[in-house]
Amino acid sequence: MEFYKMHGLGNDFVFTMSGAGGLERLQGMAKKVCDRNFGVGADGLIVLVPSEKADFRMVIFNSDGSEAEMCGNAIRCAAVLWAQKNPGAMEPFAIETLKGIQLARITDRTGKDWKVAVDMGEPALAPSDIPVEAEGDSVVDMAFTAGGEELEVTCVSMGNPHAVAFVDRTGRDIMMRLGPLMEKHPAFPRKTNVEFAQVLGDGGIRVFVWERGVGPTLACGSGACAVAVAAAVSGRAGRRSRIDLPGGSLDIEWSKDDGHVIMTGPASFVFKGKLTDSYAGGWED
């Protein structure tokens, strides 16, 4: 099985266009392929397959084998891979995901890392859309308790659930301590991604992310969008933010005109490889 290793700000993925074995079999292989000791190593396995209503369909399997609705860093990588495989293809690329069709265009092709702008669509704030068990029209700065500590949490869906906790000082320690507890908090019936965000003096927002089904990652594109929206609705920032993640920064703009969130950032190619027949269980492209 031929694959491509790519990353968006260190959030890394194994991409394949080899769908001969079927998506169910690929999902079963995701945990093995993503293992950093016994596999290729990645935060997720991404499968690009034909689509009847878009340029292609992107199927996302987390490193634990679960399927994700959307991944902002993966979709930037997918756009770059598609552009390199299909030179001259018309932009923006329409990419089908479980969230719906997302539009992506390459904004800078100079250098090793191309930059991609993705229309991530409109965020959802209603509790039923996230989903989170809460009353009211939205969850903004609501008190949640995890590990005996209280957090002020704002919930946003970018097609996948996010719980954004604004803290005085973020970092790996609070993420590792409270991230897994918040991911599986009983208020979130489908679990949730968790972002620990600190508003900086220069207008940026520093973020550490615990991803649902993955754990700590160096970056999360949909999480960066959720943080920017959460900062805006809670009055901590305007509609445009620089989100600083351990792997680098993303520019996020929440449009006043159509309510869509635009994410801009890099996507990087690492290497190309092929899984042996014995590893892939006799899979042939």
> Which residues are annotated as catalytic?
71, 220
State the pairing for strand pair 205-211/215-217. Answer: antiparallel
**Beta strands per DSSP E along 114-225:** 114-119, 142-146, 149-157, 161-166, 193-199, 205-211, 215-217
Q: Which two tokens stand for residue 166?
A: 């604004």
Q: Which residues pair with 173 in a beta bridge?
A: none
The H or E element containing residue 46 is strand 44-49
Q: Is the sign of the CA dihedral 43, 17, 93, 53 positive or negative?
A: negative
Task: Calculate ∠ Cα 189-191-192, nearest 5°.
Answer: 125
Which has the closest alpha carbon to 81: 7, 21, 25? Answer: 7
| DSSP assignment letter at 178 | H
Integer angstrom CA distances of residue 34 from 45, 115, 121: 7, 25, 29
Pairwise CA distance, residues 202 & 114, whole Å = 26
Number of CB atoms found within 10 A of residue 64's CB: 13
| DSSP assignment letter at 284 | -
Angle between helices 221-233 and 72-85 (to 10 degrees): 130
Q: Which two tokens stand for residue 54?
A: 């878009």
